[in-house]
């Protein structure tokens, strides 16, 4: 690829709605490792039943955890990717595995954190590991 082609692709990317300076890594990186008890949060034993936890459990604005398959969990930061400097915590929709940003109205699909309305960037994902009745969430 020539320098001209690389420059053209760079300019084209900047003009697309999903491309921004810095890409979609808009949520601050906060190092943490927390444990979540399946005894305390029994609903996490059920498929597609998300649980929203506060900032004391990690992340910028707290975390959302959900079991998406038998023993397979996902976790995301609750900080909305729309105006992330406001650190607005997304809330559970109550109509399935969807989270809503109460500040902007953006919606996210919690099976993979992807934006479904307004937002262009997905929620920041975190690692989840299960050890017996304990989930270990970290980044």
For every one of its 139 residues, what pLDDT tens digit does the chain have, with 9 covering 90 and above?
Answer: 433 333 333 333 333 343 344 568 789 888 999 999 999 999 999 999 999 999 999 999 999 999 999 999 999 999 999 999 999 999 999 888 999 999 999 999 999 999 998 999 999 999 999 999 999 999 9
Q: Which domain holds residue 63?
A: 26-138
Domain count, the chain: 1
> What's the CATH number where 71 sits?
2.102.10.10
Rounded to two decimals, the pTM is 0.83
Instruction: Give the rounded distance of the alpha carbon of 15 from its chain centre.
Output: 25
Q: Is 19 a domain residue?
A: no
Quick check: is 121 in a domain?
yes
CB-based contacts of 133, cutoff 8 Å, min separation 6: 37, 38, 39
């Amino acid at each position: 690829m020539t320098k001209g082609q690389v420059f053209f692709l760079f300019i084209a990317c900047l003009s697309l709605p999903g491309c921004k300076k810095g890409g979609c890594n808009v949520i601050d990186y906060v190092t943490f490792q927390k444990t979540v008890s399946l005894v305390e949060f029994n609903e996490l034993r059920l498929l597609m039943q998300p649980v929203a936890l506060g900032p004391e459990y990690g992340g910028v604005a707290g975390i959302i955890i959900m079991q998406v398959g038998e023993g397979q969990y996902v976790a995301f930061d609750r900080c909305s990717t729309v105006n992330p400097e406001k650190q607005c915590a997304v809330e559970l929709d109550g109509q399935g595995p969807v989270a809503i940003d109460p500040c902007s109205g953006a919606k996210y699909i919690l099976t993979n954190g992807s934006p479904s309305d307004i937002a262009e960037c997905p929620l920041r994902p975190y690692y989840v590991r299960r050890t017996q009745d304990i989930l270990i969430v970290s980044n």
